[in-house]
Structure 1
């Protein structure tokens, strides 16, 4: 397709990707309407509009570089807080309901697949992608879409469906604490504690969470330098295992797929590093911010190849699939919370952390005034980055 900006105009395209990602973040943190839409959707819609208006190309080596370099680095940086020992020590109880919620996601993906497999192309791969996304978050969506090598229009349609459903579900979760049915059947100590305080009118949820922090030049240097080193080592290990493990039978073939996948190796290596050398990685200022910004660049890129016509055709059924996954996740989470006597706030944040990731769950805790739950859900949601990739790969390959 001919476009105003050519596919080989590298600097201009990089300026657009990085600039629009930055604008999306600014809008999300400045305006309530943007915070409700989410910066991810703003990033995607902007790229989608410009590509369909033939201002930017739908294919370029610049976009390939984002998949090759930006996404692995983003995943690595976002895992630096994932100290397994700390997560279990500080958040053991909430971790249980989160893991049960993750089971709900996997169950929903399988049910949705068998209900809609004949009507949606690439649904097994999409199910794996959405399993990763609805257990971890955007980083897992990026990892799984790359791992399953889905066509760009399918990924874009899935993102539109995913984010639309996610936005609606967040509205439901925010509303639940004020519904008498849930107040009657669940303990809600944090809601009661907050209601005794004076309600503060703040900024957007995003700006409340992403407050200014002290970050030194050394932090930036060590964060980026170590991320490159971990990705390089992980890719080397993945390539070695992929070339070494035979594919002579179904079991070995699955093992080759799992252990030869760069994203699973990146996840595993980073998790080990963050747990063994937790004092070093947990104190690196800026790693989470840089990783999140890189993920926003990814959201811009996946909006580029989207055909509006294709999204109109594909999104309705994909939206139904996402609805099934989220509905079953919610049912499993709240039923288990009732059976095992978890607080209402634990169930809400656990489901939020699965569907939206640790940042959205922490942001919801901030917006609702549940200050004691911010750090635990952030830690548990970060664990989702780890197990989300494993669950996504397993579910996708099982359904395939």
Structure 2
């Protein structure tokens, strides 16, 4: 029987040589010489045998960067946002889209696109939406805001909103006991207070409380990321809970369609649209000037709402004439806002930076929902009032009005904004003092 001997593959090393002939115009010498050196022995002093191969290896390097649409690509970002909003509106013609609404579709699509690396999580275009397009949308949605017509429905919604504020306070306390976030040090109770302010009023209150309590910038950023993801998920849940609730009978859509018909042969629709935009810009300008004069931080949205509600109440015919055009433009711009809301939610940032903040916010909002549904049912409140009040708590007046508009609850659009503004006015103080006197001592 033959003896079995050990066998070792020869070691192979590879080098590329680019001789001076590369710069020659002679095509025959324009290829690099590739030589393999085969070591035929284990000994370090063994002879090296060069072997030539008539092959050229091409190394391909991917130039694909993520996100595909750069944050500096304003045209690309705006295209993605409006395309997302348009797709959300179109989706309501489908069976699934009509069940979950255009708003949820836009949020989901924006969230998926940003977390898949198609669009950025942060971009200057998003700031334009939040700082300019969003305030401009408020007057467009409130041209029907005659307070004499809507004050009757505000009472029950305000009660539901107050119950939601109590539910957020309870949720904050429970979440802090379960997830104390000790790894954040002193920032633990501070960020808990900031999230509490956000889930009573809105993002403005989150920033205000974070600034007042001097929360670390990295923790603030992680809280914003967690808040965006939680809000996106929560709004989907609210829309799902209200999927079987019917829309209100309204003729506003028919009026809008008639007035905006391009084949009507007159310029009424164009005049309405131009006037509505001009009035909206003027209202935003006046509100901004007042806020700057009195140096009220974060007061633009309340001031804009107050001015348009006063005008709509004092001049119902003149301002109401602009409502059809305002409804159409607001329907588009609010979908862009929902797309930005989804795109701003970075799941990876939440997981990597501060998962404890995400878990805290999840428990906080979950307890809020359980409490507001339980107490609302105990007080025999209408389910759509409870869901809208909860939306105003978690997302603020804009998301509440967006939900009312998307669900066809026309009579609750203005009350939803009004209770949201009320929440903004009280949330900062409630969360600030609750954090100092309760959370800090736990």
Whether TM exceeds 0.5 here: the answer is yes
Distance 2:371 2:105 in 1: 28
1:318 alignment partner in structure 2: 361
Q: 1:237 to 1:362 in 2, by over 3 A?
A: closer
Aligned to 1:309: 348
TM-score, normalization: structure 1? 0.69
Tell me the residue number matched to 2:292.
239
1:213 to 2:251 alignment: no
Query: Using the alignment, how far apart are the partners of 2:348 and 2:358 within structure 1?
Result: 10
Q: 2:199 matched to 1:130?
A: yes
Q: Take 1:353 and 1:230, find their aligned partners in 2: how far apart are those partners?
A: 26
- Whether 1:333 and 2:376 are equivalent positions in the alignment is yes
Match of 1:261 in 2: 299
SS in 1 for 2:117: coil
1:385 to 407, 411, 417: 417
C-alpha change, 1:240 and 1:363, in structure 2 (3 Å) is closer
1:118-267, aligned counterparts within 5 Å? 118-119=180-181, 122-132=191-201, 154-155=223-224, 157-172=226-241, 213-214=257-258, 215=260, 216-242=269-295, 256-257=296-297, 261-267=299-305
| TM-score (normalizing by structure 2) | 0.64
Alignment partners' CA distance in 1, 2:421 and 2:83: 29
CA RMSD for the aligned pairs?
3.6
8 Å Cα contact 1:101/1:330 also seen in 2 = no
In the alignment of these two chains, the number of paired residues is 327
Between Structure 1 and Structure 2, which shows a larger proportion of strand residues?
2
Does residue 271 (structure 1) correspond to residue 309 (structure 2)? The answer is: yes
Partner of 1:186: none
> C-alpha distance in 2, partners of 1:143/1:280?
32
What residue ranges of structure 1 are gaps of 5+ in the alignment? 133-140, 178-190, 192-203, 243-255, 338-345, 367-373
1:96 pairs with 2:96: no
Alpha-carbon distance in 2 for matches of 1:43, 1:146: 25
Match of 2:334 among 292, 295, 303: 295
Tell me the SS of whatever aligns to 2:379. helix
Measure, in 1, the Cα distance between the counterparts of 2:405 and 2:346. Answer: 34
1:351 matched to 2:386? The reply is: yes
- CA deviation map 1:89-116 (0-9, x unaligned): xxx2x43322211111111122222332
- Cα deviation, 1:262-295, whole Å, max 9, x if unaligned, reads 1221121122122112222223213133223212
Match of 1:11 in 2: 75
Q: Give the whole-Å Cα distance in 2 for the aligned partners of 1:128 and 1:112.
A: 12
Distance 2:117 2:328 in 1: 32
Tell me if the contact between 1:358 and 1:382 (Cα under 8 Å) persists in the aligned partners: yes
Which structure has greater helix proportion?
1
For structure 2, the residue ranges without an aligned partner over 5 or more in a row are 1-64, 182-187, 211-216, 261-268, 392-399, 433-442
Structure 1 residue 301, shift from structure 2 partner? 1.9
Q: What CA distance in whole angstroms lies between the structure 1 residues aligned with 2:411 and 2:89?
A: 23
Mapped partners of 2:270, 2:243: distance in 1: 38
Whole-angstrom distance in 2 between the partners of 1:55 and 1:358: 29
Check if 1:42 corresponds to 2:105. yes
Contact 2:229 2:342 in 1 (8 A): no
Preserved contact between residue 129 and residue 144 of structure 1 (Cα < 8 Å): yes
CA 1:210/1:35 → structure 2, altered by over 3 Å: closer, same or farther? farther
Residues 37 and 349 of structure 1: is their aligned pair in 2 closer, same or farther, counting only changes over 3 Å?
closer
Per-residue CA deviations over 1:223-261 (Å, capped at 9, x if unaligned) read 11111110011001001111xxxxxxxxxxxxx55xx62
User: Equivalents in 1 of 2:150, 2:278: separation in Å?
Assistant: 25
